Chain A
Amino acid sequence: MRYRVAHVMMDLALAVLVAGCGESAPPAAPAAGPLRILSLTPNITEILFAMGLGDKVVGRSTYCTYPPEAAALPAVGDTLKINLERVIALRPTIAFVITKRPDTARTLDGMGIRTVTLRSDKMEELLASIDVIGRETLSPGAARALADRLRADLDAVRRRVAGLARPKVLFAFPMTVGSPQMMVAGRGTFVDELLKVAGGENAYPDAADWPTVTPPKVIAMAPQVVIVNPVGEDAAPDRLEAIRRAWAHWTSVPAVADGRVVILTEPYLTIPGPRVGLAAERLADVIHPEAARPAAPAERGDAAKAGWQAHAAVYDCRLQIVDFMRARRFRARRGSGGLSRHFACPAAPAAGSNRRFRGGLAYNPQFEDRP
């Protein structure tokens, strides 16, 4: 949600950055000596940790809460308001930031910290940014491995849904209380690309960043699948209930009539980072529930882990349902069948994949899909 804010609210004026690599720092060589990285954007933090550079990160922004190790790092504010004293105290040698505002980068530059401004509005930009990070931190190998993994993840999803008809999908944030408008992903956004990968077509017809739409517009668009993504406080059970109740009114929308309004509370769906694979998988679960997740993707090189992943996805989903129902225990009990539909739990993989799954799990942070 805050990432969305960072993207949407900021200036869309042409940045000083040239399209492509998007570096704002002068093209000098990366600094020598031990690396002390300051990361000011959540997805950059995730990228750094996924590349194995987590121990080199000394500071983060307030919104960088994933992975859990990052949350333990000191926070220095966000791109709109940086606590410069803390920054100085951390003595970073390099700072990564994604912002369209030049003054943040200039400030850090002025303090002698090499600041690299990156972009990740599109998949290509994300992959390019990973490259840049690899170069700047002298770990091009890790960068390449991560980029390759991401590409592979996305390709896996593409294969999963290949050949299937593309329904019209609307990806929305929950509507403001009392307002008739809500934000949806327009064409050309990162989420839009994920929707394409996951086998859907954006119901919103125009190229736009994150436009607001009113109910009549949604009715006119007639999406076949609606994905609502409340995160943080918006994911409280009573709010989810309010969202469901609100959407239940518009029965002329195909998604409502077919029961394909799905509430996903995963925050990584809108974060262009190492978890895009998970995001695409999750979206594919929802858009094409008929296409089960592959039980044994060969690239992973670990059939057991793959089966365990599939179980994890099902387990996670059902946990969400249980949580949801527990929170609503004061209301009349209903079967979870309908709720499964709303949460679009993937079909359980074939029997025999991994019986050791039940019980505690140790997630590899790279594959974890609950913060």
Chain B
Amino acid sequence: MTFLVLLRLLVGLTAPGAVKAVDNPNDQGSAINVTWDAPEGESAAISGYRIYRSTSPDSGFALVGTQPASRLEYMDNDVRDGVPYYYAVEDCSPTDSARSAVTGPAVSRPQWFSSVRLNILVMLVVICAIFLIYINRARRGAKMYIRKIAGLDAIDDALGRATEMGKPILFSFGLGVITDIVVIAALPLLRRIAKKSAEYSTRLLVPNSDPIVMSAAQETVKEAYTEMGRPDFYNADNVNFLTSDQFGYAAGVDGIILREKPGAIFWLGYFYAESLIMAETGHSVGAIQLAGTTEITQLPFFVAACDYTMIGEEIYAASCYLRPEPIMLGTLKGEDFIRFWLIVLTTAVVALGTVDAVVGHKVHVLSSVFERIVTWVTLAY
């Protein structure tokens, strides 16, 4: 290696090869991508690259950027759309440099469509179309069956039990913020629980970790009480903000549980590691607990500590149960349809890939089809 370096010092560096400058695709313009190959056998001698640019192929080249020896591409973001540019790349060592031939013209332009996202667009259109078809069918009176969710049926039992014991009810969204879909899905459940608590005159406590969620919860509970003719029953102190801090919130909720000893606790929202701390504390005071979250890592803890757990998107389906309107049921059935075909297609593609691997990629058609499908699905990646 040292001999080669010495030899290079004597004969001089070779310029980078295959220099290309092209418009950066799928962007809003003002970017040209310059790539090159390192000269063979000289990687040890090169300390870096310099990239030169001009609007004329013969003169006026100015240095626009540098790259370390390990990088063989440069993104020039300082260009104007529609203007042709010419590039040359120079490799350099402490004592020598060699510039490539000029390449170009490269013209930067903005694109109107991001072609790498074509697969997402197609899937989005298909999925939305299926949802809309099912919503339309539901509107026209098609009968749609959905199975029972055990957790939802248990809500009334839990509320009844808390009322009999003379204990309050606790509802927690966890660390969810209003942009979390699971929090939006949990709001109808809060409304239902609030209405029942007004009916039974059982106190409802809703400690929150987010100020906006707190506002939404306050409005939901207030409206529910008003609908039941009990606006006087609402107490803003019961629907309050604790803290946004994860374990501060857990400590606060634990304190409420140990002091108030609720008879029923609903964990419906977004939870992280604090979930088991709160659920175990709830168990220790003998509360009946119902949980639902989309955070997969916390589901096992809720399954272990709670009496009922809604797994995954069952909590999304909950709002369809509470308002069994055709439109709501339509989206649920649409989901099922898509899920079925996803299973079928995934199984088919996996089988294809497995057979291709088993035959050692010797059947060209199989390999080609499998590669195309995988490439197309993962295009944006």
Are A and B associated in one complex? no
* Interface positions of A (Cβ within 8 A of B): none
* Interface positions of B (Cβ within 8 A of A): none
